[in-house]
Structure 1
């Protein structure tokens, strides 16, 4: 066995010794829409996989639409015989799941790092981008922040109901960002954080957000971009499970209410060289300005990643802190790209555009590709909002327009991969058309 296989076998054996009641492990991987797929393995078989036995799943699982359907895309799906593709176990991710009734474990799997990685698997897309930064001698340090809503577990006529306040058995009525809301919902919130930590996720600060039943969770800064994105994905999975066990439904939907703030995914990114110096702070922060300019230039062409569905576009330009144009600013939450106040060692970009239901691997890959594009081009950005409140660059406001803008942009195709961009755009285009292929009651009221 290789040294990595020996370590994996040791991890499996240690887990079995610590959790003798666990009989099965879910091997999971994130698909393009941001859902986990995988297989449930008897834990007795997992040691063989760790030792080197082949682990294969259908390649086209990655291409599933939001509702699990498969669309004809290029040479894949209906044209390739639906072949299997090799996956590998991600070390350090074998953890116990405690939101299920029966004892269960879970572990991340991926095609990245295998002899034949899947070019359009989200984790592999990010891995390739990070490899380019490593070749440049640069190391991104990343921290995600996720907003989400708690709703009542049961829908009412298909619509979400506000979370019930456990102290008064009524809807959450606490004022915006009121610390009392954290106390009233402390049981479920603390369980979410502790469960996430058991999954290896460095969950830190909890905030009661602007919307009723809305919260934000922060994660620690991580010098491994793949692990940072893993944390974001795993937190969404565990949080939904914990919420259901407490009688709630946790949702990362971008804009569940038109009259309440949407939920975003904020990503903090700083860059360090091999000596540990912050690259963005060099030369009077010139690199920071170039990085911002690159992010702004590619932002309109990465909208299908930042706004991955029809609902996500509703978030922009609505309520507060939701930009309608690609913009930036110092300590300005109305900007897509905010530069938080910090010393040079901690200087960073906070990218605030993505919806909370976006795919974290792809969001980070798109942001880093924008930074890379800016550093290479060496251009100055447009005026910050601090100087000009009307400053900004238009971006598409609907999925079909966004797909058209992404599909043909050379820097996006080069940075994220030709095959990935083709596959992703077609997946989103067909998902959107499928979503629109239904006549709702409002349409009859208006046009019957």
Structure 2
């Protein structure tokens, strides 16, 4: 197979310009994103990146995308164990070469993808989203999206293996406050460093707020008409937050439910949909299009939970009884208890805020699923169940156990049609085996209860 890339004059110029602007940088981390929602890759000398941009060879093991949460290689059909673990071609993602702002040594990073190569990998998360976006564009639909990400700062020291709140930099005491504007002041050094590093990488952050849990924060991004780049930025932002936190003597966690007694961390996704004439498609037919889109999202939720809740812990957000975490698929106007919140806005800005996903969900797959669900709803033209504003108990049950969630997703023909049958097959097998591996241990509590 020819793994040589095609020379791209604009990409080559991007690399050369970057080298001129950052002469101290000698190495670049080349990053891909896998099914488990983690970056993998290699560190290259920057002159080799320039050679790749000029048309040089770039390839990477295909099966790196399939690793489980702990880096395990699972037996999924013929992948990994019976296919010879092949390399497949990759290409550099234009516009993604940026300086890494939290490392002591000068360093840059750049994204790579199998998309638009001679052999795209159908289960690469970025490629799954790219295919969905191409389909929407062919139908005259252009999404505008914005991510919101919640995370906890936690102390490096564990208590009986469990996380605990970090020490207040001013008092030395453990932080226990929530919704406190002064938390932004007490942890201002790390938070401002996060924003600085994000902006250095071209990530357009907006508001910052202290959330419901101790040392829990949310940082929002501006709406973007480039959904693929928005997902890139969401993925890179998590890496930034973790890296900056380490430099400040603590850790950052996007774990969906690090504390049972406190609020979980979510990934909220705002989506508008525009036509070729610039009209907001969700505002058509006096709001009927919005209701149809909502109905599509509600129909998809029970069949895509492994995407929204990617591990055992993520399902705890829906069953712990804390505020603003829905336990059923629901919708509502200006209602944060609903999975789908419709913020009050002008018709041109009408959007759906999809609030179901955990903060550690894969942003590429979440966006691909939500956009496909909206597309499905618009084409089906069905009315949704009553909103929470109309009927407080309204909602559709969804699985809160990974094995049942995988079974539902694997059997959903409409999900396979939209996201790709082979992707759904591989993803569901990966999640099923991850869950079985997680459960394959006898815990101290089992011995306390059943010995």
1:426 to 416, 429, 432: 429
- 1:279 is aligned to 281
Following superposition, the deviation at residue 158 of structure 1 comes to 2.3
Q: Describe how 1:40-439 pairs up with structure 2 within 5 A.
A: 40-174=43-177, 176-317=178-319, 318-439=321-442
TM-score, normalisation: structure 2: 0.97
Following superposition, the deviation at residue 99 of structure 1 comes to 1.6
Q: Does the 8 Å contact 2:6/2:54 carry over to 1?
A: no
User: What whole-Å deviation, never above 9, does each CA across 1:382-418 have from its counterpart, x for those lacking one?
Assistant: 0000000110100001000000000010110101100
Determine the C-alpha separation between the residues in 2 that align with 1:20 and 1:302: 46
TM-score, normalisation: structure 1: 0.98
Following superposition, the deviation at residue 264 of structure 1 comes to 0.2
Across the aligned residues of Structure 1 and Structure 2, the Cα RMSD in angstroms comes to: 1.2
Pair 1:154–1:99, CA change in 2 (3 A)? farther
Q: Does the 8 Å contact 2:5/2:56 carry over to 1?
A: no
Following superposition, the deviation at residue 3 of structure 1 comes to 9.5
Q: Where does structure 1 differ by over 3 angstroms across 4 or more consecutive aligned residues?
A: 1-4
Determine the C-alpha separation between the residues in 1 that align with 2:342 and 2:116: 34
User: What whole-Å deviation, never above 9, does each CA across 1:25-77 have from its counterpart, x for those lacking one?
Assistant: 00001100100001110111111101111210000010010001110112212
Structure 2 residue runs without a partner (length 5+): none
Following superposition, the deviation at residue 2 of structure 1 comes to 10
- More deviation, 146-155/418-427: 146-155
Determine the C-alpha separation between the residues in 2 that align with 1:155 and 1:238: 22
Q: Secondary structure, in 3 states, of the residue corresponding to 1:381? A: coil
- 2:32 is aligned to 29
Following superposition, the deviation at residue 4 of structure 1 comes to 6.8
Determine the C-alpha separation between the residues in 2 that align with 1:391 and 1:2: 52
Determine the C-alpha separation between the residues in 2 that align with 1:50 and 1:309: 37
How many residue pairs get aligned? The number is 447
Structure 1 residue runs without a partner (length 5+): none
Following superposition, the deviation at residue 156 of structure 1 comes to 3.4
